[in-house]
Amino acid sequence: MSLKASIVEHIEANSEQLCKMAQAIWQRPEVALEESFASNLQAGELENSGFSVERNVADMPTAFVASWGEGSPVIGILGEYDALPGLSQTVSTERDPIESGGPGHGCGHNLFGTAGVGAAIAVKEALETEGIRGTIRYYGCPAEETLVGKTFMARAGVFNDLDAAITWHPGSANMVVASSSTAMNSFRVNFYGAAAHSAGSPHLGRSALDGVQLMDIGVNYLREHVIQEARLHSVVTSGGQAPNVVPAFAQAWWYVRAPNRKQVDEIYARVLDIAKGAALMTGTTHDIEFITGCYDFLPNKPLADLMLENMQSLEGSMTFDDEEMSFAKNLQASFPEGSVDNGIARLKGTALNSDIPQTPLLSGVIAHRDNPPAMAGSTEVGDVSHITPTVQLTTTCWPVGTPGHSWQTVASSGSSIGLKGMMFAAKSVALTAFDLLTGSDVLEQAKADFKRLKKDNAYVSPLPEGVTPH
């Protein structure tokens, strides 16, 4: 038996334990920076398997790094485990919360981190058995949903000595993610005014809410004069408490997104000027509460091609039975109109071959285009990809067209469909990590591609000095 076959066999032999871990995390969803159960469960499993574990990384109690081996190359596997608020759901095709208003794994992170743990342990066993030199790491990354975990871990330098990083995400197809994503800043703008009676003495008040609203108007005019790919969106998180009181405090939470970090920085500076102008116009004061910022994802072609090769070697190992197909089809019936067509269109936009099978669950491997359209969303995997060559993939854990961050995602992530996708991901990640650890020429090619794209521009954290995880 080859070493790579033994890695696959190890993961399959431990499938029951991995599935139990994923289900335990699904049953106890924890939101960003509160993932104590999931973090301890995964760190403990890795410790029991011989990894040394560093906890409380980057001043986040639920962040950890587990390492095994010594010397180069050093290959990292990224994992996540945070849930989303308000998405509690049973494994059902109808809306049925377990806890009204409670959290749920609406992005499948119960599967995400668990697959990484399984892959890291399987690779470690192969390296140890054969006496192969190298270091395998698992990064327990909290708070991905708020784009906090990896950005603060990156600022702390925990990825700096990696030769390459590997990650994945639950999805509706088995394919490599070869597209970029948007860079982003997340920040709150606080306005401070003076309270007064809105009818009796409004002239004595200074409305903080006016500051928020005028800033929104100013940014709306700015939209005409930024690149079309940019996205500026906000919510008013505090706008006052009663109409007959001039609000002394108001707050808006903003995202600024653009295809690359430099563009975000430029647009963000203009937005800050608008906030300053809104405060001047309203006689209020204001301050900026910077939450987080991230880079765009930097695809790496040599790593993407290697990952695809390993995924294709597993072709045929994922199958769905009639009950799972029926569940997926009934779940699709609950989607908003047009979701399935939109899901197919997005896959066609990133796939090398646009012939996507007409089935609720895609079990085959879809080859990726080398230069697919960029994703409109953001991920702090982008920061890692600007520090070291990085590759990511998706596997079929949900039916085609499943809306992101939805109760339907929670239901599928807690089902056997999600678990099968998780197992496929664990094998794909492990095989790719093993190739990179055992003298594959692809690692040097990946480093060369990374250097070509970075053009010697060092990674600089987008986080202002003094900002802490929250």
Q: Are 13 and 29 contained in the same domain?
A: yes
Q: Are 130 and 79 contained in the same domain?
A: yes
Handedness of CA 117, 111, 25, 389 (dihedral sign): positive
CATH of the domain at 289: 3.30.70.360
| Burial class, 115, CB count within 10 angstroms (exposed 0-12 / middle 13-18 / buried 19+) | buried
- Does residue 468 lie within any of the structural domains? no
Helix axis angle for 109-130 and 3-13, nearest 10°, is: 130
Q: Are 69 and 114 contained in the same domain?
A: yes
Q: Are 403 and 271 contained in the same domain?
A: no
Phi, psi (deg, nearest 5) at residue 142: -85, 170
Structural domain range at position 357: 3-181+296-454
Residue at 148: amino acid letter? V
The rounded distance, in Å, linking the Cα atoms of 135 and 4 is: 17
Q: Which helix (H) or strand (E) segment is 444 a member of?
A: helix 441-454
- Does residue 463 lie within any of the structural domains? no
Give the pLDDT confidence score for residue 359 in this predicted structure: 96
Q: Which helix (H) or strand (E) segment is 395 a member of?
A: strand 390-396
Q: How many CB atoms lie within 10 A of CB 293?
A: 25
Q: Whole-structure pTM over 0.85, yes or no?
A: yes
Q: Pick the closest to residue 168 from 410, 390, 19 (CA basis).
A: 390
The rounded distance, in Å, linking the Cα atoms of 199 and 437 is: 72
- Does residue 464 lie within any of the structural domains? no
* Domain count of the fold of the chain: 2
- Does residue 467 lie within any of the structural domains? no
Sole residue written with tokens 């398997």: 49
Beta partners for 74? 135
Range 242-251 burial, b when 16+ CB lie within 10 A, else e: eeeebbbbbb
The rounded distance, in Å, linking the Cα atoms of 238 and 216 is: 14
Domain termination residue (choose one: 231, 262, 294): 294
Average pLDDT over the chain reads 96
Q: Are 177 and 300 contained in the same domain?
A: yes
Q: Please, what is the end-to-end C-alpha distance for the chain in angstroms?
A: 48
pLDDT, one tens digit per residue, over 155-167 is 999 999 999 999 9
C-alpha count within 13 angstroms, C-beta hemisphere, residue 282: 30
- Does residue 460 lie within any of the structural domains? no
Q: Are 279 and 365 contained in the same domain?
A: no
Give the pLDDT confidence score for residue 1 in this predicted structure: 63
Domain termination residue (choose one: 294, 321, 345): 294
- Check if the beta carbon of residue 10 is closer than 8 Å to that of residue 129: no
The rounded distance, in Å, linking the Cα atoms of 187 and 390 is: 27
Distances (CA, A) of 217 to 189, 221, 278, 281, 398: 14, 6, 9, 12, 39
Domain termination residue (choose one: 253, 277, 294): 294
Give the pLDDT confidence score for residue 354 in this predicted structure: 83
Beta partners for 233? 255
Show the low-confidence residues of the chain (pLDDT under 50): none
CATH of the domain at 338: 3.40.630.10
Which residues, in sequence order, are CB contacts of 131 under 8 Å at separation 6+?
A: none
